[in-house]
Amino acid sequence: MIRIEGLGKVAGETRILRGVNLEVAPRTVLGIIGPSGSGKTTLLRCMNGFERITEGSLEAGGVRLEAGLNEKEYQRRVKQLRRQVGMVFQHFYLFPHLSVLGNVSEAPVYVLKRPRAEVEAQARQLLEAVGLGQRAERYPESLSGGEQQRVAIVRALAMRPEVLLFDEPTSALDPRRSNELAGTLRGLVEQGQTMVIVTHSMKFLEDVADRVLYMESGEAVELGDTAQILNDPQDPRTRDFIRHAD
């Protein structure tokens, strides 16, 4: 689960996030929407330590980050946090020099120090589950965009994170692949995965998210159940955004 209280971020002169309060219950999916530059990606990146918070606190997977921590302690906690929070990037960032199996096994073998044979067996199972069983020995460059994304998801899952973060997962997918992805993610939630997804696609949100957060100008404007936010937004800013969405 994730709990965020009074989170703010200032970088130099610029305020990027302000007073964000948020809770994500276990085994649920939170979708974050908002116009470009609203701070939604920054908020996501705060959740696994890529952006340092400057106000408030953030707790995920049992690890708590606070604004006032000294550098050493902060880094120590970020390290713990990343064991609990996985991330699937918009552009996947697969390792081009490793095979699909290598991409998936790398971190469990070298970070968790688990035996390679065991890790690879588990990796093959995970790949099989997303329909990539035949692709294990291939290299990322020979895979389609959708396949690459599934590898990226499996790579994150292989670390057995409590929370999985997605940054714009549908940006490179056609509607059919988008639907397939939604199915895959729902399957994971049923197995107990907690997720946070930043997206622009209302359709995808409807299919996947339990709750939706609308952000604008670095503020958490409105948080509610997916149906409520999409069909009956309370805040005028949310209403305006939904009206213009696809």
Partner 1 sequence: MRPRKSFSPQRRRDTALKRTVNKLCPCVSVVKCSALLVACLVLISADARAQAPLRWGADPSGGAPYVFTDPKHPDKYVGYELEMVEALAAAMNRKPEFVPTDWQTIVTSLERGEFDVIVNGLEPTEDRARVILFSKPYYIFQLQLTVRKNETRINGLEDCRTRTVGTLGNTAASRLLEKENIPFKGYEDPVGAYRDLELGRVDAVLMDVPMEAFYARPNPRLKPAGEPFMRGAYVIGLRKGDDALKAEVDAGIDKITRDGTLERILRKWGLWNDAQLDLRPKPAADGSPGESTPEEVKYEITSSTFNWSEALWRLTRAALVTVLLSLGAMVIAVTLGLVLAVGQSRGPAWVRALSTVYVEFFRGTPVLVQLLFLYFGLPRVGLAMPGWLTALVGLGLNYAAYESQVYRAALEAIPKGQYEAAYALGMSPVLAFRRIVLPQALRIALPPMTNDFVSLFKDTSVAFAISVWELATAYRELANASGEFMLLGAIVSAFYLLMSLPLAHLARRLELRLQRRQALRAVEAEVAG
The contact set with partner 1 (CB under 8 A) reads: 48, 50, 79, 82-83, 86-87, 89, 91-97, 106-107, 110-112, 141, 144-145, 155-156, 159, 172
Q: What share of the chain is helix, strand, coil (3-state, %, to 5)?
A: 40, 25, 35
Which letter, b or e, does each residue of 41-73 get, where b requires 16 or more Cβ atoms within 10 Å of its Cβ? bbbbbbbbbebbbbbbbbbbbebebebebeeee
Question: Min. distance of Cβ 18 from partner 1 in angstroms?
Answer: 25
Kindly give the residue spans of alpha helices, DSSP state H, lying in the chain: 40-46, 71-84, 100-110, 116-129, 145-157, 175-190, 202-208, 226-231, 236-244
Question: Min. distance of Cβ 151 from partner 1 in angstroms?
Answer: 11
Residue closer to partner 1, measured from CB, 35 or 89: 89
Structure tokens at 234: 């309370």
Q: Cα separation of 6 and 22, whole Å?
A: 9
Residue closer to partner 1, measured from CB, 34 or 61: 61
Residue closer to partner 1, measured from CB, 61 or 233: 61
Question: Min. distance of Cβ 238 from partner 1 in angstroms?
Answer: 30
Question: Min. distance of Cβ 162 from partner 1 in angstroms?
Answer: 13
Residue closer to partner 1, measured from CB, 166 or 241: 166
Q: Cα separation of 19 and 99, whole Å?
A: 43
In angstroms, the Cα distances linking 155 to 84, 189, 228 are 14, 17, 33
Question: Min. distance of Cβ 103 from partner 1 in angstroms?
Answer: 9
Question: Min. distance of Cβ 158 from partner 1 in angstroms?
Answer: 9
Residue closer to partner 1, measured from CB, 139 or 237: 139
**Within a 13 Å sphere around the CA of 64, how many CA atoms are in the beta-carbon half?**
7
Residue closer to partner 1, measured from CB, 12 or 96: 96
